Amino acid sequence: IYVDFSPRNKIMEDREQLLTPRSEEARLNGLCRWSAHTQGLQAKVVEDFRRRLKYFFMNPCEKYKARGRKPWKLMLQILKIAIITVQLVSFGLSNEMMVTFKDENLMTFRHLFLKGYKDHRVGSYALYTKDDVYDHIYYIINTYTNLQNLTVGNLAYEMVDGEYTALSVCQEFYRNSSIDPGNETFDINPHIEKDCISIYPMQSFDNSSALLTHINFILDFKRLLSVSVNLTLKTINLQTVRHHELPDCYDFHIMITFDNRAHSGKIKVDVKNDVRIYECRDWNVEGTSDENDYLLLSFDSVVILACFASLILCTRSVVNGIQLQFVSRERSLLMNIVSWSDRMEFVNGWYILIIVSDTLTIAGSALKIGIQTKYLTNYDVCSILLGTATMLVWVGVIRYLGFFKKYNILILTLRAAFPNVIRFCCCAAMIYLGYCFCGWIVLGPHHDKFRTLDKVTECLFSLINGDDMYATFLKMRDNSYMVWLFSRLYLYSFISLFIYMVLSLFIALITDTYETIKHHQQEKVPVSQLQAFIAECRDQPESGRYQTDEDSASCCVSPCCCFG
């Protein structure tokens, strides 16, 4: 047994006395005194280290009772929960107005530029005749040139160097082709060419014939791949004024596509837009000042400082735990008998969670400041960072509920069941992926929910949870008998396997862990070797015996020497 202790002088003197020539009886008496002194000192060192470990694993309230140490991290986390939630709500309202404004403008563009648009499902708007294609292209151009007389919104043309930006109509087509389905012959050059024309605002045409005569725009539908109409419009989001925010200026780069790549007689029409948000060049809002902006920036700065302080405190706690583990490991010859789970108890997972949350909050708050000052427009990235950070902050509240033994059953169950759950999910994922690939290849051409691989995974996951089962079965009735029969075998086997077997086993796995943890709590049985070692310390936090633990840090032996 290796023992590390500081008062070596007395022991060395006793050893020298034992080695000097003397009578046998005196030598035996000295040896017994030296052995008793060594054992007593070793027991004291082990007890001091046990008390140090118990203090390390105390909650903030117990540490305050033991040493009068104020729970700064606890108070800081409570403050963070409040200010981060307020910050997220404030940004969420602003982000919601921005997204709603973009979506409503996209719907406006569809109604303005698509002839006869009636809120069709996305991807269902299509044309089937040549005259319809020409009429729609003419309708788009005529609407664009007369936009100021038609729209009820604050839309305007883009100007560059004092000139309006032109609308462009581009067609893509095969270079040469000779197709004769009647004779079952074709000759095609797959090289794609592109031809574009430009239409400036304030030009008007009486009908499609006048348009075609003016621009000489002819479509060869046998070679045609697609027609794209590109235009740029500007507007201002004025609704933010009611929420004491400075309105933003928007550039909408709109692209209307006529897709004929399939050459199936159905030309799909779709409208997409790309948005650029920036600060307006000259603005004035009567009755307002920059005070609200300064308050928001100050509040975001407070959030960053609070998270930075929390990051430093939690990082220090994690480093202290790792150092305590390494000190024990360096001073022990038997560390290899302790399980990995016991070693990981020195690293507080809640502190890791808080560190990640603080990092995301600092990054998100910095982006939010950039958005408020109009230097950045990354609303989506900012919302992801702040949303994830707020979620982690609220999940961290469970840690403080865990200080009460009746509330920490969820934490203990999740932590104990996590390794088995991961192994179980890895095995189930192999079966799940097999069904995904099979459904995608076989049912994809016949069923909308199996059209792409990501849709297959979403559909099967919904089926596991009992959602939309009948509709999935119903859509396969109009296909061939062989595909219909295979779909029945596929769906019945998947639902039976995953709902009645895999899902039941998954629930049973967690339930078994819960029962084990509950039994340990009722019987007060330590669940790990480390906890069993610490439980031998009977000193209460109010006993006052934790005040001198820091002085004995240099004479610690590893608890692993005493676990067995």
Q: Examine the fold and report which residue of 359, 379, 406 is the final residue of a domain before the chain moves on.
A: 406
Specify if 492 maps to a domain.
yes
Sign of CA dihedral 55, 61, 65, 69: positive
Q: Are residues 363 and 427 in the same domain?
A: no
pLDDT tens for the chain, residues 1 to 564: 344 444 444 445 554 554 454 455 554 454 455 445 445 555 666 666 666 666 676 667 667 666 666 777 778 888 889 999 999 988 888 888 889 999 999 999 999 999 888 876 666 789 999 989 988 998 998 899 888 888 898 899 998 888 888 899 999 999 887 888 888 888 888 899 898 888 888 666 555 555 655 666 788 888 899 999 999 999 998 887 777 777 888 999 999 999 999 888 999 999 999 998 888 887 777 766 666 778 888 899 999 999 999 999 888 888 887 777 776 665 553 344 456 666 666 777 788 888 999 999 999 999 999 888 878 878 889 999 999 999 999 888 877 777 776 777 777 788 788 888 999 999 999 999 999 999 999 988 888 889 899 999 999 999 998 888 888 888 776 667 888 889 889 999 999 999 889 999 999 999 998 888 777 766 665 556 666 666 667 666 666 666 654 444 434 433 333 333
Specify if 508 maps to a domain.
yes
Q: Are residues 371 and 417 in the same domain?
A: no
User: Which structural domain, as residue segments, surrounds residue 181?
Assistant: 114-285
Q: Are residues 256 and 323 in the same domain?
A: no
Q: Are residues 139 and 280 in the same domain?
A: yes
Give the number of domains in the chain.
3
Q: Are 91 and 230 in contact (CB under 8 A)?
A: no
Specify if 340 maps to a domain.
yes
Specify if 528 maps to a domain.
no
Tell me the Cα Rg of the chain.
37
The total of other beta-carbon atoms located within 10 Å of residue 66's CB is: 22
Q: Are residues 202 and 271 in the same domain?
A: yes
Specify if 431 maps to a domain.
yes
Specify if 239 maps to a domain.
yes
Q: Examine the fold and report which residue of 356, 390, 406 is the final residue of a domain before the chain moves on.
A: 406
Specify if 418 maps to a domain.
yes
Q: Are residues 225 and 344 in the same domain?
A: no
Q: CA 137, 139, 142 angle in degrees (round to 5)?
A: 110
Residue listed under structure tokens 């201002």: 236
Q: Are residues 147 and 84 in the same domain?
A: no
Specify if 561 maps to a domain.
no
Residue 477 CB contacts under 8 Å (≥ 6 apart), including other chains: 484
Q: Are residues 238 and 298 in the same domain?
A: no
Q: Are residues 143 and 275 in the same domain?
A: yes
